[in-house]
Structure 1
């Protein structure tokens, strides 16, 4: 009897074990299937989230990507982190589909053109983010009338523009371009000992416009032990104490006293042709004019005449009006003028910082935060 019970118990245990293995096998298949389904669901959800996230990025209109006038390709990935990039070509092809998605316009090198037609075609536009300080290519009153904010990037450009100002001053003072031509000319047999420039050190520099860039120029000039004069709409006592500058109440006073005159003002109706025949006539015949702001601040015909007639010694211009000058323009025929192709901000670092500052401004507007660099219509 005991033997029968033992046999029965053993069979029960064996049967239970068999059912347990079968159950484990079955559950294992179900678990694996569930895990696979869960993984697929999570992957699908993540992909959908990424798609939704991409769709939810605010649209930003740019002129184009790459090429001579487009947004730099090296900046595209950074812009795509914050925006859905839409080029003008894409916008023109699918205007009805894209017009309500565009919340901002990124203006790089004056492009795209922001006119009434564009503003009327973008009902949800909130901000124009300009890359650079100068906004004379934008109709501020028109843009503002559409309830659209305007921003610029004054902090990103100050060092690079101040650097080009100093470079032009040194190059013109030491006649570097002329010297380079002489040194490289196949006709050159010897170097003349009476071929002379003038020293920047301890000379008098007059800065017209003591904003961020003008102040950076003054800091650099201080390292050359220059006597620094400046004229500005508002006196900047704190800055002048740091660099040891002297405030001139009038431009006339500054022009009469300066060996070098550097223009660092915004182009407005008040500064258009700020330096003309009268102003050039006030300068020393040994003085050099340097323009690193906007070409239209100078009357270029009057400047050419002054350079030809020895009213002033030389000029160094990073900006002209227009850009480039017509190939037959009289300024291009003169040896005592240096002209560079508006390269004040043309450095890897400056352009990157300009894009970053523009993005910061745009996102501030879109997220209803304080705007770091807003431009207001006059």
Structure 2
């Protein structure tokens, strides 16, 4: 019997070309969905015939109610080895095996610097002016050398961001609830004594924390007002760490110089979201992990996960 597999949220329609699916071609019929399925009704209608689903990061929440509406589903694969949008207990109750893939930390670290540099040197504004025959040199850039890079989180991505900041000649400091003086010192970083100290000292504040009960809404109005009016905030982690309404106010009222974000509370970003029109805001459509090498790894390992499951020995299981 041929099984049916759907790749969800394949926005660029590259899932079937960036991996060799021939290893499972005799057993599995694979299709991809480029359009985001925004509701459980849409998901159930579009892929209710599938025994296997491949999800991209946390774009599609797999809740208990959705699992109940996908009775044929037996294998769910997510890119990465962590996905807060999958109810693993519900998956187990419905007999669904959940597996993951490797995920590189280099691409989001690199994109963090695209946002920092884009904000500091007004790249988008100057490019639009040049292409539209607008004013020649209308902005004055912010320096990196000699300024302070303030990192919320010093994990795998934070460490990589810190190294680049040091190469630019920046002073780097970091804070998280679990960060120790020893780990900070190992990476040539000063540990801030508190979140307030970090925010007050940073010229560029970059978020690299996991989303959880302790970090949800961590940066709200109070915290944004503690930042310098000349400082920039960058978030390539999770939108819910920063209060989005407070961020919009901060940009409109000039509490900070600007902000860059690759993550949003609702994705794709609704057309009427106020961040789209916020001044001094540089937004990207969640591209942090979207690189050819990362995608090749995701989909190649998705094929491996399917083959292993069909052989009766699932690999890279999420529990």
TM band (smaller chain): 0.7 to 0.9
Counterpart pick for 1:176 among 117, 123, 132: 123
Which residue does 2:104 correspond to in 1? 157
Shift of 1:208: 1.4
Matched, 1:337 2:281: yes
2 CA distance for matches of 1:358 and 1:227?
Answer: 41
- Give the whole-Å Cα distance in 2 for the aligned partners of 1:329 and 1:196: 28
Worse-superposed segment, 350-359 or 205-214: 350-359
- Verify: 1:73 aligned to 2:20, yes or no: no
Q: Does 1:85 align with 2:32?
A: no
- The equivalences for 1:120-269 within 5 A come to 120=68, 121-122=70-71, 125=74, 127-132=75-80, 135-146=83-94, 148-153=96-101, 155-188=102-135, 190-192=136-138, 195-235=139-179, 240-269=184-213
2:55 is aligned to: 107
Question: Contact 2:7–2:15 (CA<8 Å) still a contact in 1?
Answer: no
Which structure features the higher share of helix residues? Answer: 1
- Give the alignment's TM-score, normalised by structure 1: 0.68
CA deviation map 1:228-254 (0-9, x unaligned)? 222234336675344301223532222
How far, CA to CA, are the matches of 2:46 and 2:111 in structure 1? Answer: 41
Shift of the alpha carbon at 1:92?
7.5
Report if aligned partners of 2:67, 2:90 keep a CA contact under 8 Å in 1. Answer: no
Pick closer, same or farther for the CA change 1:208–1:184 going to 2, 3 Å: same
- How far 1:356 sits from its partner (Å)? 3.4
Alignment of structure 1 residues 296-335 onto 2, 5 Å: 296-335=240-279
Pick closer, same or farther for the CA change 1:88–1:276 going to 2, 3 Å. same
Instruction: Select the structure of larger CA radius of gyration.
Output: 1
Aligned to 2:215: 271
Tell me: higher relative CO, structure 1 or 2? Use CA pairs within 8 A at least 6 residues apart: 2
* Conserved? CA contact 1:205–1:229, under 8 Å: yes
Aligned partner of residue 235 in structure 1, secondary structure? coil
Cross-structure match for 2:35: none
Residue correspondences, number: 305
CA RMSD of aligned residues (A): 3.5
Shift in alpha-carbon separation, 1:167–1:113, aligned structure 2, 3 A? closer
How far did residue 256 of structure 1 move? 1.6
Task: Quickly say closer, same or farther: Cα 1:187–1:208, change in 2 above 3 A.
Answer: closer
Question: Mind listing any 5+ residue stretches in structure 1 that lack a counterpart?
Answer: 1-54
Structure 1 residues 345 and 370: alpha-carbon distance in aligned structure 2, compared to 1, 3 A threshold: closer
Q: Contact 1:228–1:245 (CA<8 Å) still a contact in 2?
A: yes
* Residues 114 and 323 of structure 1: CA distance in aligned 2, closer, same or farther (over 3 Å): closer
The verdict on how the C-alpha distance between 1:274 and 1:112 changes in structure 2, with shifts beyond 3 A counting, is closer
Unpaired stretches in structure 2, ≥5 consecutive residues: 33-43
State whether residues 164 and 344 of structure 1, in contact with CA within 8 Å, keep that contact through their aligned partners in structure 2.
Answer: yes
TM score, norm. by length of structure 2: 0.79
